[in-house]
Amino acid sequence: MRKIKKPELPVLAIDLGGTKLLSAIISPAGEVLAREYCFVFADEGPQSVIERIFSSINSILWQISIEPSQLNSISIAAAGAIDTEKGLVTSSPHLPGWHNIPLRDMVKEKYSVNTYLINDASAAVLGEHHFGAGQGINNLILLTIGTGIGGGIIIDGKLYSGTNGTAGEIGHMTISTNGPKCTCGNVGCLEMLVSGKAIARETIKRIRQGEKSSLVNVNDITAEEVLKAAQDGDFLASKVIFKAATCLGIGMVNIVNIFNPEMIIIGGGAANMGNLLINPAKQIVREKAFQLPANTVQIVPAQLGNDAGVFGAAIFAFQQNLKRGE
Amino acid sequence: MRKIKKPELPVLAIDLGGTKLLSAIISPAGEVLAREYCFVFADEGPQSVIERIFSSINSILWQISIEPSQLNSISIAAAGAIDTEKGLVTSSPHLPGWHNIPLRDMVKEKYSVNTYLINDASAAVLGEHHFGAGQGINNLILLTIGTGIGGGIIIDGKLYSGTNGTAGEIGHMTISTNGPKCTCGNVGCLEMLVSGKAIARETIKRIRQGEKSSLVNVNDITAEEVLKAAQDGDFLASKVIFKAATCLGIGMVNIVNIFNPEMIIIGGGAANMGNLLINPAKQIVREKAFQLPANTVQIVPAQLGNDAGVFGAAIFAFQQNLKRGE
């Protein structure tokens, strides 16, 4: 029997978001051999979340009866400002208490397996570029609009992650100097005006201020419910979604003027909010951005859904193998 | 006598701004063989400006007694959204009436010399990267703050100019959704809040609204005069400069969060406004941007002054020669 080489072994890829944790074992051919979801309970703090990551790794390895030594590597995509080189989660608006946590080395030491750490939106853009909406596109930007807003950048066909690996924090671009304070410490960030959390918060605020709406359970309103109400013609919900769409449009104008990309891919929950959220935002890009890049850019929904992050984390690991000549 | 090859001949480089036009003849070694300034008088419209470009080319060739055929090429850096591939000035906030003007081919036909056209800030960042503040830096952003605000991007040591050559319009990034309308058609652009024009306009507006200032010649106030008054302790001038510095800081926070660059170079007239404009802006970057990229980025003044554009235009031409294998 010939010896199995590292690149032929699968990667255990993890996508650690602010709400959910997805683990998957992915072969070099892009086949998903196992997958597992759990909740993060980020409010319980880093130690507790890290225990949950270990449980998920143990459980998915058990699921297909393999040992850590039978993995090419473990690759973690995490929400926040990631120092890829040092393997640190330096800070994260969606993981309270995470400051310079050496997540890569903690996992590596526990399982004695090569481990990588990248930003979740960087992973997602790698995933969409290799297997999703961005195949064959040289310059593209991914916006994942979920609880927060993440951004990933492909330039000249390669992931651009900046000097420390933190590039792409497009959700934390100020578009309104008088806007609300963001958990990142900045003000008027795109994320504070467009994300799922922002849509829910704005609706709740307006109802509490006395505006009328068909939404009644004020303490528990979700972005999905606001969207549904807007689709049903609720005036307040429509106004909130339209305001978010306007801000998304302005954010995309900035992207178009700065990057002149071939494509902007919109992922996360918002990818499915086409008519009410994405279409008015596209209209603003056509009206407000420079004409030539506005006419060039394709604005399209993501194709891989929740799998983009784990696919991208796996691609990142295989690419790092190639660089290391393994 | 051996035949002189194209790459050994000099480039006639032109920097066409909204106010001034600089022409220079630059050798492959970076030596300036001749130089000439004139005013653009952009308000007279494209035809008149193009005649002035021709005059400047004729005059500088005459200055050192050479024919167009003794040039490697002519390379024009122009303010605005430039379609480098097609050689068009598609639009320009500082050149009124310029819409899809085929400037490259007009010059090429007149002189029968290979001609290139790029954005002026893209040229300036190439200049600073090769001969100025950005030597040896892989990921850097140039902001030229003059009449308007231009931006140039170097990624992985190369100019990034996007899909059509229009990338880098950082001056036309909205940072204030309620901000003033910009000549580009957008609102609250960085340029409307930080440029020389913006500083002068804001001061004039406030004086007309009855605020007291030592600046008296209300119709004719320049940004330089506002800066001087602020340095002398004028309260209104200080307030206007501080507001511009705050907005510049927010713009740079966006750049730092999106690009995680090694360096931001500040050029144009603002490069010399260190204490009052640049220092408070740097402070905002340290306070509001993600910590890791904020600690990484160096924010430094440009070194080539007004020559960055012509140097960059020449470098661009020599690089294109290499690509074409000449």
Question: Which residue has 């490697």 as its token pair?
Answer: B72
Between CA A146 and CA A194 the distance in angstroms is 9
Between CA B258 and CA B264 the distance in angstroms is 13
Residue A119 lies inside a defined structural domain of this protein: yes
A100, A173, A287: best to mutate for the B interface, most B CBs within 10 A: A173
Tens-digit pLDDT profile for residues B93-111:
789 999 999 999 999 999 9
Residue A129 lies inside a defined structural domain of this protein: no
Residues with Cβ within 8 Å of B68's Cβ and at least 6 positions away in sequence, in order, are B61, B74, B111, B112, B113
Q: Are residues A77 and A223 in the same domain?
A: no
Whether the predicted pLDDT of A322 surpasses 90: no
Q: Are residues A206 and A162 in the same domain?
A: yes
Average confidence (pLDDT) over A298-323: 92
Residues with Cβ within 8 Å of A283's Cβ and at least 6 positions away in sequence, in order, are A249
Between CA B211 and CA B205 the distance in angstroms is 9
Contact B189, B234 (CB under 8 A): no
DSSP 3-state assignment of A126?
Answer: helix
Tens-digit pLDDT profile for residues B19-41:
889 999 999 989 999 999 999 99
Q: Report the number of distinct structural domains present in chain A.
A: 2
| pLDDT band per the 50, 70, 90 thresholds, residue A217 | confident
Burial class (CB in 10 A: 0-12, 13-18, 19+), B69: exposed
Q: Are residues B78 and B163 in the same domain?
A: no
Of B151, B170, B292, the CB nearest to A81: B292
CATH of the domain at A169: 3.30.420.40
Q: Which of A168, A118, A134, A83 is nearest to A316 (CA)?
A: A118
Average confidence (pLDDT) over B53-70: 96
Residue A1 lies inside a defined structural domain of this protein: no
Q: Are residues A165 and A33 in the same domain?
A: no
Between CA B120 and CA B129 the distance in angstroms is 14
Whether the predicted pLDDT of B326 surpasses 70: no
pTM: 0.91
Query: What's the pLDDT at A268?
Result: 87
Contact (CB<8Å) B260/A175: no
Average confidence (pLDDT) over B110-124: 95
For residue B87, the distance in angstroms to the closest alpha carbon of chain A comes to: 13
Contact A244, B153 (CB under 8 A): no
Interface of B with A in 264-293 (CB under 8 A): 287-293
- From residue B245, give the alpha-carbon distance in Å to each of A30, A261, B279, B282: 49, 29, 8, 9
Residue B77 lies inside a defined structural domain of this protein: yes
Interface of A with B in 145-174 (CB under 8 A): 151, 155-156, 160-170, 172-174
Q: Which two tokens stand for residue B117?
A: 């056209």
Contact (CB<8Å) A290/B172: yes
Q: Which residue has the higher pLDDT, A79 or B273?
A: A79
Average pLDDT of chain A to the nearest whole number = 92
Q: Are residues B151 and B107 in the same domain?
A: no
Average confidence (pLDDT) over A164-191: 93
Average confidence (pLDDT) over B33-50: 95
Burial class (CB in 10 A: 0-12, 13-18, 19+), A254: buried
Lowest mean pLDDT among A114-118, A212-216, A271-275, B182-186: A271-275
Between CA B296 and CA B220 the distance in angstroms is 41
Average confidence (pLDDT) over A273-302: 93
Lowest mean pLDDT among A135-149, B184-198, B214-228: B214-228
In percent, the amount of chain B with pLDDT more than 70 equals 97
- From residue B50, give the alpha-carbon distance in Å to each of A32, A246, B56, B82, B98: 60, 39, 10, 16, 11
Between CA B123 and CA B314 the distance in angstroms is 8
Query: What's the pLDDT at A43?
Result: 93
Question: Which residue has 């650690």 as its token pair?
Answer: A16
Whether the predicted pLDDT of A1 surpasses 50: no
B183 near A CB under 8 A: no
Q: Are residues B277 and B315 in the same domain?
A: no
- From residue B79, give the alpha-carbon distance in Å to each of A292, B97, B145, B192, B195: 15, 13, 12, 16, 14
Q: What chain B residue is nearest to A93 in terms of C-alpha separation?
A: B290
Q: Are residues B150 and B109 in the same domain?
A: no
Residue B1 lies inside a defined structural domain of this protein: no
Question: Which residue has 């640049």 as its token pair?
Answer: B278
Q: Are residues B224 and B311 in the same domain?
A: no
In percent, the amount of chain A with pLDDT more than 70 equals 97
Average confidence (pLDDT) over B283-287: 97
Whether the predicted pLDDT of A4 surpasses 90: no
Rg (CA), chain A: 20
Contact (CB<8Å) A91/B262: no
Tens-digit pLDDT profile for residues A11-34:
999 999 888 899 999 999 899 999
DSSP 3-state assignment of A326?
Answer: coil
Q: Are residues A46 and A104 in the same domain?
A: yes
Residue B129 lies inside a defined structural domain of this protein: no
DSSP 3-state assignment of B127?
Answer: helix
Whether the predicted pLDDT of A283 surpasses 70: yes
Average pLDDT of chain B to the nearest whole number = 92
Tell me the residue length of chain A. 326
Q: Are residues B91 and B69 in the same domain?
A: yes
Whether the predicted pLDDT of B3 surpasses 60: no
Angle at A177 between CA A171 and CA A182, to 5 degrees: 45
Contact (CB<8Å) B253/A168: no
Antiparallel, parallel or unpaired: β A115-119 and A73-78: parallel
Contact (CB<8Å) B175/A175: yes
Tell me the backbone φ, ψ of residue A5, rounded to 5 degrees.
-85, 155
Query: What's the pLDDT at A93?
Result: 78
Q: Which of B160, B159, B161, B141 is nearest to B149 (CA)?
A: B141
Tell me the residue length of chain B. 326
Whether the predicted pLDDT of A49 surpasses 90: yes
Between CA A193 and CA A251 the distance in angstroms is 10
Between CA B81 and CA B96 the distance in angstroms is 13
Tens-digit pLDDT profile for residues A239-274:
999 999 999 999 999 999 999 999 999 998 777 777
Q: Are residues B146 and B278 in the same domain?
A: yes
Instruction: Provide the ipTM.
Output: 0.90
Contact (CB<8Å) B293/A151: no
Contact A169, A81 (CB under 8 A): yes
Whether the predicted pLDDT of A229 surpasses 50: yes
User: Domain containing B286: what range?
Assistant: 134-303
Contact B104, B87 (CB under 8 A): yes
Whether the predicted pLDDT of A71 surpasses 70: yes
Question: Which residue has 């310059």 as its token pair?
Answer: A139
Q: Which of B213, B285, B304 is nearest to B247 (CA)?
A: B285
Lowest mean pLDDT among A304-308, B145-149, B233-237: B145-149
Q: Which of B250, B266, B85, B253 is nearest to B167 (CA)?
A: B85
Q: Are residues A51 and A102 in the same domain?
A: yes
Between CA A205 and CA A239 the distance in angstroms is 13
Burial class (CB in 10 A: 0-12, 13-18, 19+), B231: middle
Q: Which two tokens stand for residue A115?
A: 């481990």
